[in-house]
Amino acid sequence: MIDIKLIRENKDLVKENIKKKFQDEKLPLVDEVFELDKKVREVQVKADGLKADKNKLSGEIGKLMKDGKKDEAEAIKKQIAETAEEITALEKEQEELTKEIKDKMMVIPQIIDDTVPIGKDDTENVEVERFGDPVVPKYEVPYHADIIEAVNGMDKDAAGRTSGQGFYYLIGDIARLHEAMIAYGRDYMIEQGFTYAIPPFMIHSDVVTGVMSFPEMEAMMYKIEGEDLYLIGTSEHSMIGKFKDQIIKKEELPIHMTSYSPCFRKEGGSHGLEERGLYRVHQFEKQEMIVICEPEESMDWYNKMWKHTVNIFRNMDIPVRQLECCSGDLADLKVKSCDIEAWSPRQQKYFEVASCSNLGDAQARRLGIRCKGEKGTYYLHTLNNTVVATPRGLIALIENNYQEDGSIKIPKVLQPYMGGKEVIEPKK
């Protein structure tokens, strides 16, 4: 949610930003908010004037009663009561107008960073840099589900019976490899100075609407029937929500944390849920990182954060690239975002395994996350980034470490989490 001062003082900037995001249908909202805001302030001025009149009249009653002018005092009391009713009506009108403004402001997108490439959708995202050489081996790399099944590492049929499409059992060394990736990502981030946390896996609706836009919520979140609780789609939701309505001391900044959680997503309308593989699923696990910092430091943190993910994947012998998200691919709360994509030797292309986002003060405004400094109280900036998420990260690991004999080489950084095991052999 942007600062309403931008609409008061620079409507053209807000409209131009909407055009850059190819959301022209939202352009009328800017003028609507401008007029509503003007009306709210007019109502406020009128209400303040009536309150001043009421206070002045109230001061006269005692004097009139003292002078024995009871009838005049009663007339003023009646006038005060009428004024009070008018003030109540104005306050109700102001409350309704303020709610209408907020509802419209929640839909107006955040002002994007000047460096964001302009494009309509994800097909116009821009490759920035590659890390590691994308290798295509001379031998065929099978579909990841076939590789996993050859080592008895997965059972989607049983998951279909217990839970339906989009779920899975990971078994044996593959389950262990999955957890090794998460554990390595956790330990790497702790070494970088991030504080480890395990957050709640369910959150209230006001936290959901604080961390994401309504269309995102509808597409992603599972609602707990009969309760004001949603299953999280990523631990960023509850980690940022941890600081809701808090005034953070300046000396406590920046806050940088890494968190583990299972993640639950509808993947509504997504293709691939019926497939044998693990690419699109309703449930997965993820190590996340979040930062809450001073506004002027957020872009520096953004660049540090995505580089951590690159390092983690390169340490697991996985080539990756950074892909800058264009304006039309940015969610409404984001100022700037990039994806880290891993190389798939089987498909001979890259696919997304992580996403890093700078949300400016959008989440902080919605959730009331502020800092008190020399210049007063102000909103902080929030950022989030995937450390490692499985099973997508697992797919990248398996494909890039698959060997001609059907075995899976375990990267050195993961071997301590696998009891020193170096290779997962196919079952005879």
Closest CA to 3 of 291, 361, 331, 335: 361
In a domain, 267, yes or no: yes
Q: How far is CA 4 from CA 10, 112, 214, 340, 378, in A?
A: 10, 16, 20, 33, 14
Q: How far is CA 11 from CA 3, 33, 77, 105, 363, in A?
A: 12, 10, 46, 13, 22
Which of 105, 140, 168 delimits the end of a domain?
105
Say if residues 193 and 223 touch (Cβ distance below 8 Å). Answer: no
Please give the sequence-ordered ranges of beta strands (E in DSSP) within 198-294, or none if there are none. 202-203, 222-223, 230-231, 247-249, 255-264, 283-293
Could you tell me if 134 and 89 lie in one domain? Answer: no
Could you tell me if 225 and 281 lie in one domain? Answer: yes
pLDDT recorded at residue 173:
97
Residue 127 to residue 149: CA distance in whole angstroms: 34
In a domain, 114, yes or no: no
HEC string of 354-376?
Answer: EEEEECCCHHHHHHCCEEEECCE
In a domain, 113, yes or no: no
Structurally, the chain folds into a number of domains equal to 2
Closest CA to 111 of 201, 37, 184, 14: 14
* Residue 42, helix vs strand vs coil: helix
Could you tell me if 58 and 136 lie in one domain? Answer: no
Report the percent of the chain where pLDDT is more than 70: 98
Could you tell me if 168 and 91 lie in one domain? Answer: no
CATH of the domain at 375: 3.30.930.10
In a domain, 227, yes or no: yes
pLDDT recorded at residue 412:
98
Which of 105, 135, 166 delimits the end of a domain?
105
Kindly report, residue by residue over 315-373, the tens digit of the pLDDT: 999 999 999 999 999 999 999 999 999 999 999 999 999 999 999 999 999 999 999 98
- pLDDT tier at 56, thresholds 50, 70, 90: confident
Say if residues 383 and 357 touch (Cβ distance below 8 Å). Answer: yes
Could you tell me if 259 and 288 lie in one domain? Answer: yes
Could you tell me if 72 and 134 lie in one domain? Answer: no
Which of 105, 135, 153 delimits the end of a domain?
105
What is the average pLDDT across 6-14? Answer: 96
Residue 268 to residue 161: CA distance in whole angstroms: 20
In a domain, 110, yes or no: no
- pLDDT tier at 274, thresholds 50, 70, 90: very low
Could you tell me if 238 and 316 lie in one domain? Answer: yes
Kindly report, residue by residue over 225-257, the tens digit of the pLDDT: 999 999 999 999 999 999 999 999 999 999 999
Report the percent of the chain where pLDDT is more than 90: 82
Please give the sequence-ordered ranges of beta strands (E in DSSP) within 220-348, or none if there are none. 222-223, 230-231, 247-249, 255-264, 283-293, 320-324, 336-344
In a domain, 416, yes or no: yes
How many whole angstroms from its chain centre is CA 213? 9
- Other beta carbons within 10 angstroms of residue 346's beta carbon come to 20
Could you tell me if 239 and 322 lie in one domain? Answer: yes
Query: What's the pTM value of the predicted model, to 2 decimals?
Result: 0.89
Sign of CA dihedral 250, 251, 256, 257: negative
Residue 46: pLDDT over 80: yes
Residue 81: pLDDT over 50: yes
- pLDDT tier at 203, thresholds 50, 70, 90: very high
In a domain, 111, yes or no: no
What is the average pLDDT across 202-210? Answer: 94
CATH of the domain at 80: 1.10.287.40
Closest CA to 116 of 374, 296, 360: 360
pLDDT recorded at residue 268:
56
* Cβ neighbours of residue 102 closer than 8 Å, sequence gap 6 or more: none
> Any idea which residue has 């929030």 for tokens?
382
Could you tell me if 184 and 135 lie in one domain? Answer: yes
Could you tell me if 156 and 232 lie in one domain? Answer: yes
Rg of the chain, C-alpha, whole Å = 28
Strand partners, 372: 249, 377
Give the CB-side neighbour count of residue 126, counting CA atoms within 13 A.
Answer: 13
Say if residues 377 and 370 touch (Cβ distance below 8 Å). Answer: yes
**Domain span including residue 85:** 4-105
Kindly report, residue by residue over 370-390, the tens digit of the pLDDT: 999 887 999 999 999 999 999
Residue 382 to residue 369: CA distance in whole angstroms: 9
In a domain, 306, yes or no: yes
Residue 273: pLDDT over 50: no
Could you tell me if 91 and 141 lie in one domain? Answer: no
pLDDT recorded at residue 74:
74
Could you tell me if 80 and 133 lie in one domain? Answer: no
